[in-house]
Structure formats: structure tokens, C-alpha cells
Structure 1
Amino acid sequence: MTAFTSVRRTALGALTIIAGAILVVAPAQAQNYPITPHQRATAQQVSERGVPLSELAPNAPDTYTVQRGDTLWGISGMYLKRPWRWPELWGMNLEAIRNPHLIFPGQTLYLDKNGGYARLRTTPPGAAADGQTVRVSPRTRTDSLADTALPTLKTHLIEPFLVEPLVVDADELRRAPRIVATTEERVLMASGDRAYVRGDAASPLRAEAGAPRFFRVFRDAVALKDPVSGEILGYEAQYLGKAELVRGESLEETDDGKGGRVAEYVPATVALSAAKEEIRAGDRLLPAPGRAFVSYTPRAPGIEVDARVVSIYGSSAVAYAAQNQVIAINKGAQDGIEPGQVLSVRTNGSRIKDSTDEAKATIKLPSESNGTAMVFRTFDRVSYVLLLEIRNGVRVGDRLVNPE
């Protein structure tokens, strides 16, 4: 597409909104991505009603022109007291929802208040939606307008964590192929270096058709303990970088010095890249996961949630997590936790001595609401959560519950 001055609202691909769901899909697949019965029901509700006026933020603007750098969460927070209810606010008609559409910079949103309810539209209230023209900034280069679609959140905050944190059981890393040596006998390795790797005796690292070729490098599986029960929920491995298999493990025939031949073991060779830290002998390799579609539909959980913060990702020396940081909680997929669920963060009320009491009795202060967070990656018993809006630091043991 070249030099856009206007486009019709169509299924352009990339990040698409289907009744509030944000789906990472390829352009050719956008129009055919299935809409679930739940999304269809939400679309019907959106078309018919919207959200009560009491749910609107005090200073919700009547019109807003989408800017570069905006996120759907940010815009929803501008309009709503509870941003996760945006599927109900996004008052697109059913035809628009049937054909997935985009919200992108340059588009003007109109707040329609009618009958005690409010909806957001892309046309002024009362105007027909058919044939709508959306104005965007002129372009002088070839580009896909889909690339400018708004993400749910600021993507750079969570993209690294979609591949970096890895929760494994006690034996998984121990069985994984390990780096045994380096070229030029280096102690530490970085991007661009080659390393030699030895697999498990039962599953050697082979360069065969269908076998993994791309790997991620990990170290030091740290136990994740439930702060309530003390039970170990899993082990969090430290992500170090990437590795590509250059040559598999093999046996080579060499001269035994007595006129005969002997088969000697030769480890696999890998090329290291994208190293976040220096890599050394003993670090482990696990196959890189395939690039999957990620669907985030921010919403309140349909189950009762009472979770605790297990750890602050990235540094054991940090006592408090701030806004836009990632934490791990003690609930996972087997507990009904799903990506996109929005949770309310509550402080763990401290215990203090009552200085006004002659007996100096110990009392527990109440837990207080401390902000909002969203689940974006789950394992069986552990989930990773992005802190969206935090008033005070979050620490291990703090609670995450259903949003109010």
C-alpha cells in the first residue's frame, strides 16, 4: 500500500480486534480467524448496549484522535474506571466485528452517550457506519497500514518474557544437553562464538531431519517457593541467549597409534547468538519453541483468584517491583489462570507493635488495593504477570485477587 490519505475500515491483518481480543496473526489469516461464541455474545451485547455511564472515567473525552505510542489499555483507561471492560465500551456494529478491524494512529474515536449507556465509535454519534472513511497521515513510502495497529500493551514490556522465563521441573534441565567446551579454550563465551555441546546418553544431539536445530541457553534453575505453603512450585531457569546447531554429536574414526582404527566420541557444535550474559561450560540447551499466535483479551477472571507473589523476575536482590515490571505468582494453568486475566494487586498488611498500647501488642495492618496487573504467560503451577498500574512497590507475598 502506498501514500495513504484514507482507507476504508477493513480486515487489514496484524493486530486485530475481535470483540476486544487482541490477536497476533499474519495478514493473510486475519479475515479468517475464528470468533468464539463468547466473543460473538460480547459483540451482540456491545452492539445493543455498551457500558453504564457510571463506569466512565470522570474526564472521559468526547472525542480522541489516536496517537503513535498509544495502547488499547491506555485508551480504555482514559475512558473507563475499569479498563478491562473495553469490549463492552467498543461500540462497533456487528458488521465491523464480523470482519475484524483495526484501531490505528490518526483514527478519531467518538464517545456516544445514549440511554444511560456509553459506547466508543469511529463515526460521530448518529452518523452511518457504512462507507466510513478513516483519515491517517500521508505516507511517501511503501508500508502496510496494519503495522501501525495499536497493541494491547506496550509490546516491548512483555515480548522478552514470552521466551525468557522458563519454569521446569527438577530434572528437565539436568537432562538437557550441556556445553562442555569452547573454541580456543575460552572460559566465557558471547555472541558470535562457537561452543561444543554434549547431549544426554539416551537422546544425543543429532543434526537429523526433524530434530531441533535452534535452542535457548539457560543456567541456574532457581526454586520458586509458594510463600504460603513453602512448597516448591517449579524451577525458574535463567535465560542467557540463543544457539544454533551447526554439527551434531558423532563418532569419528582415528588412528589408535598401533596401526588400527578406533571410534572416538565428538560433541556437537553450536553457534551462539543474542547472548544476554556471558555463557560458560555447564550451561544447558533447550529447544526453542515455535512462534505461536498470542491472544490477549484483558478481562476479569471467571473464577475466584487468590494468588501470592512468588518472585520478582530478573533479580533476586530487588525487594520491591515497580510499575511495568514482571512478577511470578503461585497460580498457573492448572488453577484456571489464563493469559489476559486482569488482577487487582493488594499489599500484604504489615505486623507492627502498637506503640499506643501499654502492652505493646502486635497488630496486623489491613491489606490495601495497590493497582492492577495482567497475566501474560502461564505454566502449570506458576504464571507471569505484568504490573500495569502500581501505586507502591510490590513484594513477595503480596496478594493478587479478582479486580473490584
Structure 2
Amino acid sequence: MRNQGTMTAAFAFTIWAVALCSTGFAGDDKKFIIGEDSGFYYTIQKGDTLWDLSEKFYNSQWDWPGLWEMNDNIKNPHQIYPGKKIRIFLKETPPIKPKIVTVRKTKEKKMPIKIETSFSLSGMDHIGFLRKKAQLSLGSIIKEKDDQLMMSANDIIYIKPSGKGPLVPGKIYQIFTTSDVKETINDKTFKAVKHLIKAKVKILERKKMYATGLITNAYEPVYKNDLIMEYYKRDSILTVEDDPGPIDARIICSEDNNIMINDYRIAFIDAGTKVKPGQIYSIFRKNKLTDNTLWSLKKKNDSIQLENLESGKLIVLHTENIASTVMILSSTYAIHTDDMVN
């Protein structure tokens, strides 16, 4: 299997052109706020120009208008300032490796400049995850104050404590649900518990038998018997690693249980501590022969192994012991359970 773990400067998508509410992508508004919006960005260094950055990222100075267009807060392309964060787009064609420049009077080789890019995801603190066992619940929802069956932001809820931990007034917690995952991955049965984070809740008051809370943010409808857990703040900004090693992992499933997983969807791979947030990998599908071709080859006693087809790219968002949460960045073909990641 080919190693496609290396991050080149480019992949086939322009994040700012896609509107996806669940992950914070915005299409019409080009103003980019790090940590609140989603996309790739770069911090300008002393001496940088849009022309030089275009050459470094895309091996062509003539791509600079694209950088200027998607950063409308740059009023003058001739004036960019160190420390300023600009949004970048990624292209599919990898750049040509920088030439080695020989310094005069010596044989010392000038090392090519390493460009560090970052990835921002507004919804990082409520992406789902897989664990071997379910997270202990601090309580469960009894009802909504006005007896609404479906709860959302600004609703007041009643919570029955589980006794597994405190529910502290004024503190923020998360509302979640769990479901069992059982998939055939690489000819083996993979079992886990999927955790779906649905909302944030602020505890208002703690009584002897129950607690009251205010739903401050809701990402999914909330219902009776949904569970309460500690709020874990995840970093919404990831440093993109440009050269992750091969991992030989597989797609397990998507967060929303879609059979076909496409661009900007959250999914899970069976690589836990083998990977790190910010690493980008390629997804492959098996290049299968048709039944007619297989029958013909058997008659001739031939055997042919076709090279796997690259079907997309993903970025690692969060890791657990048995699996990692990822986002699909681009897809050439439909992505399914058991597709290969490397």
C-alpha cells in the first residue's frame, strides 16, 4: 500500500466555499475568526509577501490572488504584517520540491523553509468519540420545565443525579447519549461505545433529590433520559503535521450513522494513540475486479492484484485509546466502513 500520510501543501477543496452549519463552515462571509470558524490558516512571518507565500504553498507566485480574495481583511496585497493569521486554500496537485540552493564559497546547502499551517474547527468541543466502555454519567434528564418533549437552547431542565459525581451550580456540563458500535473491520469484529454530545448545560440549582439546569448550547435535539457528563474543553486549533507516518487503519463508521460518508462529515478510524490531532491521511478503497473479469482470469489461471484507489483525505481531530475522531476533508468516491486509511 502506498504511503499517502505526507501532507503536501494541497488537497482538492476550498473550505471557505462550503456552507456547513454543524461544523462552522461558512460560504458567503469571508471574514475568518480563528477558533470560531473552520478552515486551514497560516501565521505570517517577518519578510513574507503574498507572492512568496503563493510560491511556497503552491509552487507558483500566480496563485496569490486566491489568497487575497479569501482574506478580505487584507486591504492592500502589498502590505501584510507578521503575526497576522490568514486563511489558506489547499490544492490537490502537490508542489514541486524546493530546489537546494548552494551558498557561494561553501558547499553548505540551504534548507527549504518549512511552512507550518494550522486547522481551526469551531465545533471541536462537541465532536463524538468512541470508547471501549461508556463514560460514567453524572445524571439523567427527568423532564423539561414546561413538559416539552424535545429540548433545545434556553430550556430549563430537571436532572436526576446518578451519585457518580457532583453537579455544581454555576458549572457547565455536557448532555450526551451512547450507542453500541459493532462493525466488521479488516475481517475482524470491532466493538465500541459511541458517544454523541448533544448540548451544553449550566447547573442552576442543586436540590436534595434533583438539580435544575439551563441548556446554553444545543447541537442536537435533547430528550428525556439523555445523560450528563463533565465538560471537556478541546483545543479548537490544531497544528497540521506535514509528515505523519503510515498507520494502516480503517474507517469504522460516521458520527451520524450515514452509510456513505462524504465531505466534512465526522467519522471514526481504528487508530487510537497511533495518530495525533492535526495529522492528515489519505483514504483508499479496494479496486475490485468485476465478476466477468474474475471468471476470465480463473479460466486462464491468472491472478491480478489491482492498486487501491485513493478516495479522499481526512484530518485527525481527537484520539481515544481504541479509535480516533476524524473529519473527511475531500472525497473522490463514496467512503464506506472498512475503507483503508494510510
TM-score tier (shorter) = 0.5 to 0.7
Seen in structure 2, the aligned counterparts of structure 1 residues 152 and 82 have a Cα distance that, compared at 3 Å, is farther
Unaligned 5+ residue runs, structure 1?
Answer: 1-13, 16-20, 25-30, 32-49, 90-114, 122-149, 251-265
2:139–2:159 contact (8 Å) kept in structure 1: yes
Q: Which residue of 1 aligns with 2:130?
A: 167
Asked whether 1:340 is paired with 2:298, we answer: no
Asked whether 1:181 is paired with 2:124, we answer: no
1:226–1:330 contact (8 Å) kept in structure 2: no
In the aligned structure 2, how far is the partner of 1:224 from the partner of 1:312?
Answer: 13
1:353–1:360 contact (8 Å) kept in structure 2: no
- Report how far residue 225 of structure 1 moved: 4.1
In the aligned structure 2, how far is the partner of 1:56 from the partner of 1:313?
Answer: 32
Q: Which residue of 2 aligns with 1:67?
A: 68
2:253 to 305, 311, 315: 311
In the aligned structure 2, how far is the partner of 1:344 from the partner of 1:82?
Answer: 17
Q: Which residue of 1 aligns with 2:271?
A: 331
1:23–1:293 contact (8 Å) kept in structure 2: no
1:23–1:296 contact (8 Å) kept in structure 2: no
- Report how far residue 180 of structure 1 moved: 1.6
In the aligned structure 2, how far is the partner of 1:274 from the partner of 1:395?
Answer: 31
Q: Which residue of 2 aligns with 1:230?
A: 189
1:247 to 196, 205, 210: 205
Aligned pairs for 1:1-400 within 5 A: 60-62=60-62, 64-65=64-65, 66-69=67-70, 74=89, 77=91, 81=94, 152-153=118-119, 155=120, 158-173=121-136, 175-207=137-169, 213-223=171-181, 225=183, 227-228=185-186, 229-232=188-191, 234-250=192-208, 266-290=209-233, 292=235, 294-301=237-244, 303-314=245-256, 316=257, 318-333=258-273, 335=274, 337-350=275-288, 352-354=290-292, 357=295, 366-400=307-341
Q: Which has the higher helix share?
A: 1
- Report how far residue 269 of structure 1 moved: 0.3
In the aligned structure 2, how far is the partner of 1:69 from the partner of 1:224?
Answer: 42
Number of aligned positions between the proteins: 270
Task: Find the residue that maps to 2:89 and give its secondary structure.
Answer: helix
CA distances 1:256-296 after superposition (whole Å, capped 9, x unpaired): xxxxxxxxxx3000111322333221100112223547331
Seen in structure 2, the aligned counterparts of structure 1 residues 351 and 381 have a Cα distance that, compared at 3 Å, is farther
The one-letter code sitting in structure 1 at the alignment partner of 2:240 is T
Specify which structure has the bigger relative contact order, considering alpha-carbon pairs within 8 angstroms and separated by 6 or more residues: 2
TM-score (norm 1): 0.55
Seen in structure 2, the aligned counterparts of structure 1 residues 373 and 202 have a Cα distance that, compared at 3 Å, is closer
- Report how far residue 246 of structure 1 moved: 0.2
Unaligned 5+ residue runs, structure 2?
Answer: 1-32, 35-39, 46-51, 72-85, 100-108
Larger Rg: 1
CA distances 1:174-231 after superposition (whole Å, capped 9, x unpaired): x331112232333332222211112223435343xxxx71011112334264612213
- Report how far residue 164 of structure 1 moved: 2.5
